[in-house]
Amino acid sequence: MKINRKYISAFVALLLSVPVLAQVPAPAPKQSKPVLLKGATLHVGNGTVVENAAVGFDKGKITYAGPQNGANLSGYEVVDVTGQHIYPGLIQPNSALGLNEVESVRATIDWNEVGEFNPNVRSLIAYNTDSDIIPTIRANGVLMTQVTPVGGTISGSSSIVQLDAWNWEDAVLKADEGIHLNWPYMLVETGNSRNDARLKRMAEQREQTLTELGALLRDAAVYKAGKQDNENLKLASMTGLFDGSKKLYIHANYGKEIVEGVTFAKKYGVKDIVVVGARDAVVVADFLKANNVSVIYSGVHALPSRAEEDVDMPYKTPYLLYKAGVPFALDYDLAIHGIRNLPFIAGTAAAYGLDKEQALAAVSLNTARILGIDKQTGSVEVGKDATLVVSTGDLLDMRTNDVTQAFIQGRKIDLNNKQKYLYEKFENKYKAQEKVDGTVPTTMSN
C-alpha cells in the first residue's frame, strides 16, 4: 500500500504545532538561594495583617515574616513586591483532584473502588501529578489539596499533597491521614410512603450497613489491642482511628445524620472526628462544639437546604459557625475544575458576616489545623514551609485576584496553564484580525 507523502507531512506538521505552553509545566527545582519579598501587605493567615512587610525564606522554610524595617537583607535575593499582597497558599480539602481527568473516559477515573468497605484503599498512590487541571488551580492561589476517594460506605484513606511535583512520592505532605465514611442516608417516611415496599427494603439495607460498619469498627479496635499472627489490611488501616493518629471524616449533611454518625463513631472509640459537607452544621452547632468535632463546610455556593430557610443561608453559615465556636474550614465541593474558585468561596463568606482575615483562615490555617498540618503550613510564619502566593489585588475577590508569583516550599512555580495559553492564543488572533480589517469581534469589544 502506497502512502501519500503529503499526508505524512501534514501529520508531522500537526504534531509539531502542539504548543509546549499548553502542557503541564515541569516542577520547579529546589530553592537554591535565600529570597526576600519586600514592600507588600502581608496577610499571615491567623488574622494578622502587616503593612509594608517583608517575607524571607531559605531552603524552603520561612526565616522572616514581619515589618520590612525589621528584616535583615544581607545574603538575600530581594524581590520588590511593593503594592501587592502576600498570602499563605490555599488548601482545598475533600478533593478528587488528580484522581479524575476526563469524566467520559473511564481509564482516567481512579477515585472509586468496588465494594462498600474499603478503608485500606489509598488515594495517594493513584494521584496524577500531570493532571491538566492542577496548573489552572495554582494560578488562583490554591497550592495544596487533600486527595480523597469517593464511593461506598468507607471510601478509603485520604492524603495531603502539594501541587508541584514529578510524582506522588514528591508531592505528599501527609500520607494516609484519615479515613472517609459516607454516612448512610436517613429515610423519612411520609403519609404516602408508609406501606412502600421499596422504602422498607431500603430501611432494612441501611440497618444492615450500620450493623456491618459497627462490626468492622469493633474488629479494628480488637485488632489494634492484640498481637495478630496474620496481617489484615482492612483492620490495620483503621487502627489509627482509636489513638487519634488518623481522623475519621464523616460525610453527612442532614442534622440528624450528623448527630447519629458522630455518636456512632464515639461509641466505638474513634478519637478524632471531622464532619464533611455539613449543610446542617448550624442546626447542631452545640452538639458539634460539645463533642469537639470540626467541620469542613461544603455548601457556600449552594441553594438553601429547605424552602423555609433564608435565601442567603448557605452564604452566612460560615459566619454562624464562627459565632457558635465550631472549628471549620471551607471547600469547593463541585466539579474539580472549579477548585480554582476556592478563594471566591471564602470571599462570599466574607461578604456575609466573616471578617476578611477570618475568611482567609477558613481556606488556609483553619484547614491546616483540621487536617493536622498546621505546624508545617497554613500561615506565613517563621519555621513553616514557604508555600505562599503574591497577588496584585485581593486574593478572595474574583475581580482583583491576580496571582503574579507563587512559591511551594520555597520553589517559585510556573503559573502558566492551558487556559492562559488559549486566552493568549485567541487574543492574538483577534488583535491580528483587527489590524487587517479594522474590526473588533464582539467577544473582544465587550
Cell matching residue 216: 468492622
298 neighbors 251 (Cβ within 8 angstroms): no
pTM above 0.75, yes or no: yes
pLDDT of the residue at 280:
94
pLDDT(9) > 70? no
Domains and CATH numbers, the chain: 5-88+416-445 (2.30.40), 90-377 (3.20.20.140)
The Cα–Cα gap between 205 and 332 comes to 31
pLDDT(193) > 60? no
pLDDT(198) > 70? yes
Q: Which residues contact 369 (CB under 8 A, 6 or more apart)?
A: 294, 327, 378
DSSP label at residue 291: T
Three-state DSSP class for residue 197 = helix
The Cα–Cα gap between 420 and 212 comes to 49
pLDDT of the residue at 435:
75
Which H or E run includes 63? Answer: strand 61-67
Within 115-188, strands assigned E span: 142-147, 154-162, 172-182
Nearest to 49 by CA among 88, 79, 4: 88
DSSP per residue, 393-421: S-TT-TTT--EEEEEETTEE-----HHHH
Torsion region of 136: left, alpha or beta (phi above 0 gives left; psi -120 to 50 gives alpha)? alpha
pLDDT(284) > 50? yes
Percent of the chain with pLDDT over 90: 71
The Cα–Cα gap between 340 and 55 comes to 25
The Cα–Cα gap between 231 and 140 comes to 44
